[in-house]
Chains A and B, each alone.
Chain A
Amino acid sequence: METSTVAAPPLAVETIGLTKRYPLTWKRKVLVALDGLNLQVKQGEVFGLLGPNGSGKSTTLKLLLGLIVATEGEARVFGLPPESLEARRRVGFLPENPYFYAFLNGDETLRFYGKLCGVTGDKLDKRIEELIDLVGLQNGRERPLRSYSKGMLQRIGLAQALIHDPDLLFLDEPTAGVDPLGSAQIRDLILKLKKMGKTVVFSSHLLEQVQEVADRVAIFSLGKKVLEGSLESLLTENQSTQVLIPAEMNPEQQERLRKFIGQTGVNESEIRFTRPHLSLEQLYLRTVQAQPDFVSKDSPRP
């Protein structure tokens, strides 16, 4: 009998012991920007990178894009070295606070990046139309980028990242400096990309937003990944059981319930009636501040 084995698709992102150190020659010290990162992102996932400034998020993205070279460890994008052209053909990137070429207008910007990716002719014209519609920049096509607002720059940035229809998107603080409406639009766009089967890896400080779009998150602190998992598992408190009763309970009802549960062997005095809700923000702060050498400032670390 013939058996056929179907090879699992390669991981969108995989890092093994990825480390980046910068020697500070004058101070005779070494700055550890990223320390032994092991990370796996499956295809089609939306993965959030969280952490304070200088925690290693942007370094991770730069290493995954092959923009900088790892001191130790290995990174793979769809099983390929990140610096290879094959990997980059499948990757789109939006840097933090992107500026782009201020002398180009929206249309010219997309045309430039499209051509660099080998998209030309009618295909490029069609793609530009689609992306202008997708990011809602109809009024910015003919305007030079120097006259763009922050939100518009972010949107043209997303459009250029998508110009060659990549399978994986790296977004570094995609909502930084964008107003709530623009921020919501970017969130919707990420959800739309997820529906299209794209993999999205993004960093953000807006925790509520991360909670709304990410399947899994990793929290970084001082160059180390300190927590990773699905939002579902991370946001669940395992030491207690929550019984959701979709009704307001008066004290008498609460007392009767307490006695009833007490009959099952649970200490009645430990039963509390609250509305427990752990937000991602709480989790984030608790995790970061729990680090023994946590310092609450953005200064570079030795």
Chain B
Amino acid sequence: MISSLHRILIIARNTLTEAVRQKVLNVLLIFGLVLICSSVTVSQLATPDIDAAGLFSEQIKFVKDFGCGAIGLFGFFIALLSTALLIPQELDKRTIYTILAKPVRRAEFLLGKFVGVVLLLALSVALMSLAFAATLYWQESVGLAAVEANYAQMDLKHTPTAQSMHDHDAAQIIKQVRDPQLVEAVLLIFAKIVMTAAIGLLISTFATSWIFTIITTFMIYLIGHGESLARTFWLSHGAETTIWQSGLIGLIALLIPDMNSFTIVDEILAGNRVPWHDVLNLLCYANVYVIVLLAVSVVIFDYREI
């Protein structure tokens, strides 16, 4: 058991090293980082007509939306590319033969590869989150400086009303930036891209080309976003649908993960409170789905002729 885990970790580490030394993924990550950092400038351009009181609130919201969007988007691309190339590249270069000819089980090889991708995604999300946090902190400093400057220009700045307005504005900015719920948002984005990676891995265990893997994974990702709509339609018009329609929707609901439930992140970014247990429920859902996808991948890969 320990040696099995050891072999999985050796392959995971090698996969991570390979990804880190690959230019394509590095370029993607750098783009993501640059985009997140540039969100401050973009936010200023996007909110020119808002009055002073709401300006920073809007700009911070913009940076949060932009930052989380960039983490999700670039995380998705990195997950898609890294898993799509995972098995075909090994087969093309015949490196898989040298590994599977060693005392390594196929399941260990596959899980090692997946753990490597998850580590890569964790590293990418961590780096982008750091850039996101730094950008928000910068936005907070700019906002607080502007509030201070605004206060200094006031004629009646020592009046309780002015002081109260100043404190309120400053507190609003700090509250918006240092929102602990952002941790929940990042965790949910991470879970979603890990699910995408698991789907990609499953496809790549039987696909013969990486392009097929990318297209199919992308399609499943899209269907996953529309799945809840189909389910809602089915539940509300259950009696009107034929057995084939309900069967198809049921099958889709069973096979394809419900990606739309992760839009809960939008609620967090809108400033609405999302309880931790809702987040934990979603994380558990993602976990179960990933485990099922990995189990199916292992079975398929075990039978694959290489």
A residues in contact (CB < 8 Å) with B: 22, 62, 65-69, 85, 88-89, 91-93, 95-101, 103-104, 112-113, 115-118, 157, 160-161, 164, 170
Contact = CB atoms under 8 A, between A and B. Distances in A.
Interface string B288-306: 0000000000000000011
Interface in B96-138: 97-105
Contacts of A160: 98
Given A68-B305, A95-B94, A116-B7, A101 B14 contact: yes
A65 B18 contact: no
A104 B94 CA distance: 15
Contacts of A88: 101-104
Contact of B98 (A22, A68, A85, A95): A95
Interface in B1-45: 3, 6-7, 10-11, 14, 17-18, 21-22
Contacts of B17: 103-104
A103 B105 CA distance: 24
The B interface, classified by DSSP as helix, strand, loop or mixed, is: helix
Given A116-B7, A164-B102, 15 more contacts: A65-B97, A67-B101, A67-B306, A68-B305, A69-B305, A89-B103, A93-B97, A95-B98, A96-B94, A98-B94, A103-B21, A113-B102, A116-B102, A118-B3, A118-B103
A253 B106 CA distance: 71
Contacts, number: 71
Contact of A95 (B6, B97, B104): B97
B22 to A, nearest CB: 8
Given A103-B18, A112-B14, A97 B103 contact: no
10 contacts: A65-B100, A65-B101, A93-B101, A95-B101, A99-B93, A101-B14, A103-B18, A103-B21, A112-B14, A116-B102
A88 B10 CA distance: 18
Interface residues of B, number: 24
Nearest to A88: B103
B95 interface: yes
A199 to B, nearest CB: 15
Contacts of A164: 102
A289 to B, nearest CB: 31
A56 B62 CA distance: 63
A116 B103 contact: yes
Interface of B: 3, 6-7, 10-11, 14, 17-18, 21-22, 93-95, 97-105, 305-306
Contacts of A62: 97
B260 to A, nearest CB: 37
A99 B105 CA distance: 21
Contacts of B97: 62, 65, 67, 93, 95
A242 B95 CA distance: 50
Contacts of B94: 95-99
A88 B99 CA distance: 11
A166 B256 CA distance: 45
A93 B95 CA distance: 11
A157 B3 CA distance: 24
A101 B3 contact: no
Contact of A91 (B7, B99, B101): B101
B128 to A, nearest CB: 23
A95 B92 CA distance: 13
Nearest to A68: B305
Nearest to A100: B95
For the complex of A and B, 9 pairs with smallest distance between CB atoms: A93-B101, A99-B93, A85-B103, A103-B21, A88-B103, A95-B97, A116-B102, A89-B103, A115-B10
Given A93-B97, A99-B94, A103-B17, A117 B103 contact: yes
A96 to B, nearest CB: 8
Contacts of B99: 116
B54 to A, nearest CB: 50
Contacts of A161: 98
A107 to B, nearest CB: 13
Nearest to A89: B103
Contacts of A89: 103
Nearest to B20: A103
Contacts of B14: 101, 104, 112
B10 A67 contact: no
Contacts of A65: 97, 100-101
B254 to A, nearest CB: 28
A22 B6 CA distance: 35
B18 A98 contact: no
Contacts of B306: 67-68
A91 B22 CA distance: 32
B81 to A, nearest CB: 16
A98 B102 CA distance: 15
A93 B103 contact: no
Nearest to B11: A116
A247 B101 CA distance: 53
A44 to B, nearest CB: 21
Contacts of B11: 116
B102 A117 contact: yes
A34 to B, nearest CB: 13
A177 to B, nearest CB: 14
A98 B96 CA distance: 10
A61 to B, nearest CB: 9
Nearest to B15: A101
A166 to B, nearest CB: 10
B102 A67 contact: no
B10 A112 contact: yes
